[in-house]
Amino acid sequence: MGKETTKTTLLEIGTRIILEKGFNHTGIQEILQTAGVPKGSFYYYFKSKEDFGLQVLENYAQAYQATLERCLEDQTLTPLSRLRRHFEESCKRFESRQCRNGCLIGNLSQELADQSEIFRSRLEEILSHWRERFAKCLYEAQEAGEIPSDLNPHDLAEFLLNSWEGAILRAKVTKTIAPLEAFIQIVFESTLKG
């Protein structure tokens, strides 16, 4: 494998293992063995395990952001329908993974927010960025008259993002999508009706 291919492979395998086991519990040797990359070459690609974890985080955040944009930019649907479809599609993806793993950003927030200031501040930026993207869609929904004018799109976006992370967390424990379905039902039938 070329240098860039090897690095990409290590990041992909690292993402899978960290999603399953968490960051602290993931061993560099396990990643190298799974990738079939010689022991000892890890530091050729990454400065440290922390550097590796931050790059895994970055890749995941970018991929999620791209998925989010694709859905929320779809001009064939109303703003509120785009938002609902985003959650419905996330729900299907979670179900297709047997309700395992959840969201890497939520998982690392839980694990590392109190342990590492560098992870905490990067997670904060990523989550704020996602919140702002939700807020933009909610502003559009408000302009289109789909949600009441007295609701605050910024606070609502905060609430929706956090509540979704909580629903994913719960669904990991129930091993069903019922918590995600309850989220979609109540958010779109009660919360966003004001």
**Per-residue interface string for the shown chain with its own copies, residues 88-107, x marking contact by CB under 8 A:** ------------xxx---xx
Residue 60, both tokens: 């995941």
Buried b (16+ CB within 10 A) or exposed e, 55-71: bbbebbbeebeeebeeb
DSSP-derived letter for residue 9 is H
The footprint of its own copies on this chain (CB under 8 A) covers a number of residues equal to: 49
Residues 145-174, mask of contacts with its own copies (x by CB under 8 A):
------x---xx-xx-xxxxxxx-xx-xxx
From the number of C-beta atoms within 10 Å of its C-beta (0-12, 13-18, 19+), residue 48 rates as exposed
Which of these ranges, 31-39, 60-68, 117-125, 132-140, lies near its own copies under the rule CB under 8 A? Answer: 117-125
Between CA 50 and CA 165 the distance in angstroms is 24
Verify binding: residue 114, its own copies, rule CB under 8 A. yes
Give residues in contact with its own copies (CB under 8 A).
20-22, 24-25, 100-102, 106-107, 109-111, 113-115, 120, 123-124, 127, 151, 155-156, 158-159, 161-167, 169-170, 172-175, 178-179, 182-183, 185-186, 190-194
